[in-house]
Structure 1
Amino acid sequence: MCACSFAKCIGITLIPLSIVCVLCNILLFFPGGESVESEHITEQVWYFGGILGSGVLMIFPALVFLGLKNNDCCGCCGNESCGRRFAMLSSILFAAVGVIGAGYSVIVSAVAINHGPQCKVSNGDPMKGWDYPFSDGNYLTNKTAWSVCLEPANVVSWHLSLFSVLLIMGLIQVALCAVQVVNGLLGCLCGDCCSCCGGVSIIHS
């Protein structure tokens, strides 16, 4: 498989991962599946790690990777070798953007998991009863402590599940973009982006 084809496979994989991350971030605006006041939404949700980091910033490298196979990367001002290397060099730059975006999402998700969700912890004034009762992260190993959150219902499991998905998806995206950096570097140095094109030319000749 030539470098362009491999990059296309990575791009195809990144698209659904990005969609999942965007959906998870959107669902986090409805803790426990309920609509709440904006000030009661967990702070890290507003950092848009899934929408911006693993979503929007990941779409650009994914589209570039998808287009490498169809680009005329076998030609650059009549210089075949130049075209191959330039195409793979551009993929390295966009892969770096992907690593930064996914890395941002991973950091936001990790912080959110450690801090826990914002929830109502008392039956008093609803404007004063909302807090972050798990700011030290102890709830991860003590599931019985989740009962301290009275509203929204199941907010802890909702928060933990969605941010965990964002964390895992972000790590996968970082790994895929890192692989493309290596793939692009090899293609840039070796000029084998369209070795398969060369093979076709030889056969027809």
Structure 2
Amino acid sequence: MLGLLLTSEYTNSITEIDVNGDLSSLKTGRNRAEESVQPLVNNHSDKMSTAKCSKFIAFSLYPFVFISILCNIVLFFPDGSVKYAQQGLITEEVKYMGGLLGGGIMVLISSIYIHFTGDNGCCGNRFGMFLSIAFAAVGVAGAFYSFIVALIGLNSGPLCYADGEWTTPFKHSNTSYLADSSLWAKCVEPKNVVQFNIGLFLTLMATSCLQALLCAAQIINGLAGCMFGAYNENKLDEAPLS
């Protein structure tokens, strides 16, 4: 009888040890699986963040592109009249079309490709992100061109009818006319052309600075994409777990 009791207790002890051992093995296996999966999750998160950042930058650039183009077009029509453009009596820097070509077309090309990068992750490859760096550099160059043209236009002042002739009366004033509004009365025609040029050129300068910052941010984001790749969230969801 005693032998049977000892045998039963021994069997129960062995069973408990096996069960505890199995649970311990399961926990250990689960922890190892979580540790192996976590770097992949973090890596995918990094890849998705570069694509999302590209989309954010592209959507932020679009309104600034529109503002640049609009400002440059409006500059051709001081006093809301087309006759000055028809007669060629337009401030010289306006003809350089910094807002239209630089802050407009060049930045627009950059923003479209950056948007494409964010939408598709450029098929998830690093070469696509490298191209986004090149296009972002084009955007920086366009914004810089727009800024320089606007700065020169602001420094030279508008072309207007003053002292009986069409001239640029503030060209050698070293921008002192900007702070002395009493000098603006020199320009008889077009009406309020000084305020007109100052407002639009300052807007172009501010817009081009923001464009350059956003494109520079994409260059940094593109470098991160080259290192970690770029994945679209939908592409990641469709990818096999293996």
**How high is the TM-score relative to the length of structure 1?**
0.86
- In terms of fraction of residues, the more helix-rich structure is 2
Unaligned runs of 5+ in 2: 1-47
> 1:111 pairs with 135, 144, 152, which one?
152
**Cα distance in 2 for residues equivalent to 1:22 and 1:131:** 26
Q: How does 1:126-141 map to 2 (within 5 A)?
A: 129-135=165-171, 136=173, 137-141=175-179
Summarize the Cα distance change of 1:88–1:72 in structure 2 as closer, same or farther, 3 Å threshold.
closer
**Cα distance in 2 for residues equivalent to 1:97 and 1:66:** 15
Counterpart in 2 of 1:200? 237
Paired residues, what number?
191
| Contact 1:2–1:196 under 8 Å retained in 2 | no
Q: How does 1:24-43 map to 2 (within 5 A)?
A: 24-35=71-82, 36=84, 37-43=86-92
Instruction: Compute the displacement of 1:104 (Å).
Output: 0.2
Counterpart in 1 of 2:143? 102
**Cα distance in 2 for residues equivalent to 1:101 and 1:7:** 18
**Cα distance in 2 for residues equivalent to 1:34 and 1:19:** 22
Instruction: Compute the displacement of 1:198 (Å).
Output: 7.5
Counterpart in 2 of 1:156? 194
**Larger CA Rg, structure 1 vs 2:** 2
SS in structure 2 at match of 1:188: helix
Counterpart in 1 of 2:225? 187
Identity %: 40
Instruction: Compute the displacement of 1:204 (Å).
Output: 6.1
RMSD: 2.0
Matched, 1:64 2:113: yes
Letter in 2 for 1:61: S
Matched, 1:143 2:190: no
Counterpart in 1 of 2:6? none
**Cα distance in 1 for residues equivalent to 2:113 and 2:234:** 19
**How high is the TM-score relative to the length of structure 2?**
0.73
**Cα distance in 2 for residues equivalent to 1:32 and 1:156:** 11
